[in-house]
């Protein structure tokens, strides 16, 4: 990536540009952060975080598919309030903090300009803005993974990290930095694993990189090594093994629960098998999610980003170990999720969020490869224009599920003697989040096919054996409200509406984003 004079020292002239990029990243993440209502998973996060910690860990292990770290952090964060903006602010903070981390990573692997360009691309990324404005664990996962990459890059590019004599020659400051790098790699790898189970591919990628460096060093021998400033070197085997033991020790307490969760996902999960279009779509989301042009016009993304990515690869060829480092970090989660999806589909762009920093570093290297500054300036302008259009589409057009509107409608029309039924059971959580704010009288609520989590599963499917219970529930009530959502997965043949149609007349139907409200009466 070109000469990198003084990359290990701080460049005070970069503080102003980095501060401006941070301000921009914070602005686009906070703009309208509370304007959209909570969707199902966000409301579930709040429901989980409201529990005492011991109860929360039990619920996570029993009904969820994710580790508990995000919920634990959100539990403390709720002291600031549980409104939409407050709960999403935790994700926004994590996303903003990722910006200086990718700057430091780009500076470590290349130079200050590469770091600033990568930070700018991440700052205005609609993909990252999206998950910065969502009360889920993905922005936290992105931050943790970026910190792991930074710590690993430090360990692999530090020529003094191999021997004790070199350690001594590096001085106290150098030894302290390396100590923090080892600690950072260990702690943040474990934190990522405790935030999302697919972070196992991050751990795998780190070991693939280090293992590849060991094999390369053994094959070529010392005499043919390139200059120190151009290479990465594997850390000593005892130090690396100790770090992996540390990761396992920090993660070990959750492994029994993880095994139960993994078996549950293997038995039943809602994602469809991945296609080539899904893979391309994930990379397109990294480039500019919510890009408003569709059909042939959307090819402008490929026409801009593919050549820029190729230029980044060309620049990185000068330092092939850095090229391999970023390529492995980018490819491992994609390939890993595709391989697992042969048995149980798990491929999902949001779980790949930690692969996006290497992607932006490739693009930043591509801009640096444009040798004339006017060409580089044009590339930056085009990237900002593309992401600006996508952000505009996100703020204006992207809708989350309409629980706020559905709850307001029912609250305005419900009678205390009515019954409210919820399908698929846990949709009661987002509905009640809004309904209980607008309606302060008791009203009967039940889940279908079972009350909330009575079956110990997150999304129990409606079967023919559940129909007698449903009939018994509705018979004492003159009017029944059905809050119907996610039926494609848990009631695909429409058993619930069929039973209600047998017992009551359908009086009205209201449609909202991702949710339908039906009112039954008479009969």
Contact present, 363 and 308 (Cβ < 8 Å):
yes
* Residues near 125 by beta carbon (within 8 Å), at least 6 away in sequence: 286, 288, 289, 356, 360, 387
Cross-sheet strand order for the sheet of 479-484: 444-447, 419-423, 479-484, 515-521, 505-512
Q: What is the DSSP string of 189-230?
A: HHHHHTT-GGGHHHHHHHHHHHHHHHHHHHHHTTTTPPPGGG
Burial of 295 (0-12, 13-18, 19+ CB in 10 A): exposed
Token pair for residue 351? Answer: 């779980």
User: Helix 320-340 crosses helix 84-109 at what angle (to 10 degrees)?
Assistant: 140
The CB-side HSE value for 269 (13 A sphere, CA atoms) comes to 20
Q: From first to last of its 523 residues, what are the pLDDT tens digits of the chain? A: 444 444 444 565 678 899 999 999 999 999 999 999 999 999 999 999 999 999 999 999 988 889 999 999 999 999 999 999 999 999 999 999 999 999 999 999 999 999 999 999 999 999 999 999 999 999 999 999 999 999 999 999 975 544 443 444 445 656 778 889 999 999 999 999 999 999 999 999 999 999 999 998 888 765 455 555 557 889 999 999 999 999 999 999 999 998 888 887 767 677 788 899 889 989 999 999 999 988 777 788 999 999 999 999 999 998 999 999 999 999 999 999 999 988 888 888 999 999 999 999 999 999 999 988 999 999 999 999 999 999 999 999 999 999 999 999 999 999 999 999 998 888 999 999 999 988 888 899 999 998 888 767 777 889 999 999 999 999 999 999 999 998 888 898 999 999 999 999 999 999 999 999 999 998 6
Token pair for residue 413? Answer: 């029309």
Instruction: Name which of 191, 217, 216, 193 is nearest 204 in CA terms.
Output: 193
- CB 31: neighbour CB atoms within 10 A? 12
Instruction: Name which of 41, 31, 109, 111 is nearest 429 in CA terms.
Output: 41
Res 371: pLDDT: 83
Sign of CA dihedral 73, 18, 325, 221: negative
Peptide bond into 91 cis (omega under 30): no
Q: What is the DSSP string of 38-88?
A: P-HHHHHHHHHHTS-HHHHHHHHHHH-SS-SHHHHHHHHHGGG--SHHHHH
Backbone angles phi, psi at 252, to 5 degrees: -60, -35
Q: What is the DSSP string of 339-358?
A: HHTTTS----GGGGGGGHHH
Res 171: pLDDT: 54
Question: What secondary structure letter does DSSP report for 492?
Answer: T
- Euclidean distance between CA atoms 485 and 428, whole angstroms: 10
Burial of 361 (0-12, 13-18, 19+ CB in 10 A): buried
Angle at 95 between CA 92 and CA 96, to 5 degrees: 85
Question: Between β-strands 479-484 and 515-521, what pairing exists: parallel, antiparallel or unpaired?
Answer: antiparallel
């Amino acid at each position: 990536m070109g000469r990198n004079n003084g990359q290990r020292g701080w460049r005070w002239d970069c503080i102003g540009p980095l501060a401006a990029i941070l301000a921009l990243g914070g602005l686009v993440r906070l703009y309208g952060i509370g304007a959209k209502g909570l969707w199902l998973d966000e409301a579930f996060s709040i429901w989980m975080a409201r529990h005492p910690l011991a109860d929360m860990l039990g619920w996570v292990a029993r009904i969820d598919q994710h580790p508990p770290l995000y919920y634990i952090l959100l539990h403390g964060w709720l002291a600031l309030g549980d409104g939409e903006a407050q709960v999403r602010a935790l994700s926004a903070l994590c996303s903003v903090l990722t910006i200086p981390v990718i700057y430091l990573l780009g500076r470590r692997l290349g130079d200050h300009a590469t770091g600033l360009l990568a930070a700018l691309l991440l700052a205005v990324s609609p993909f990252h803005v999206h998950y910065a404005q969502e009360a889920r664990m993905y922005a936290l996962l992105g931050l943790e993974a970026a910190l792991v990459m930074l710590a690993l890059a430090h360990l692999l590019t530090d020529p003094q990290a191999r021997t004790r004599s070199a350690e001594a020659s590096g001085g106290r400051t150098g030894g302290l930095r390396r100590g923090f790098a080892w600690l950072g790699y260990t702690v943040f790898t474990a934190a990522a694993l405790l935030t999302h189970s697919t972070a196992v591919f991050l751990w795998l990628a780190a070991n693939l990189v280090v293992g590849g460096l060991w094999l390369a060093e053994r094959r070529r021998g010392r005499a043919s090594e390139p200059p120190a400033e151009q290479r990465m070197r594997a850390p000593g085997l005892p130090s690396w093994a100790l770090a992996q033991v540390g990761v396992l020790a920090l993660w070990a307490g959750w492994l029994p629960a993880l095994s139960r969760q993994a078996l549950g996902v293997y038995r039943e999960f809602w994602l469809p098998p991945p296609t080539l279009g899904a893979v391309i779509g994930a990379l397109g989301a990294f480039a500019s999610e919510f890009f408003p042009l569709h059909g042939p016009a959307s090819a402008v993304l490929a026409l801009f980003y593919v050549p820029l990515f190729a230029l980044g690869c060309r620049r990185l060829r000068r330092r092939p170990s850095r090229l391999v480092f970023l390529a492995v970090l980018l490819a491992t989660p994609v390939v890993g999720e595709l391989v697992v999806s042969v048995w149980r589909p798990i491929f999902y762009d949001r779980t790949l969020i930690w692969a996006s920093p290497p992607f932006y570093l490739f693009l930043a290297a591509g801009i640096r490869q444009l040798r004339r500054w006017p060409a580089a300036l044009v590339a930056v302008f085009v990237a900002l224009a593309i992401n600006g259009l996508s952000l505009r589409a996100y703020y204006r057009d992207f809708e989350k599920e309409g629980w706020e509107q559905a709850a307001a409608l029912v609250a305005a029309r419900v009678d205390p003697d009515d019954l409210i039924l919820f399908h698929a059971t846990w949709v009661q959580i987002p509905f009640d989040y809004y309904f209980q704010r607008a309606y302060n009288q008791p009203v009967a609520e039940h889940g279908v096919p079972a009350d909330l989590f009575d079956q110990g599963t997150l999304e129990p499917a409606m079967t023919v054996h559940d129909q007698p219970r449903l009939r018994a529930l509705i018979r004492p009530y003159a009017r029944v409200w059905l809050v119907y959502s996610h039926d494609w997965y848990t009631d695909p043949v429409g058993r619930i509406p069929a039973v209600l149609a047998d017992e009551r007349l359908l009086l009205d139907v209201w449609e909202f984003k991702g949710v339908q409200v039906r009112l039954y009466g008479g009969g």
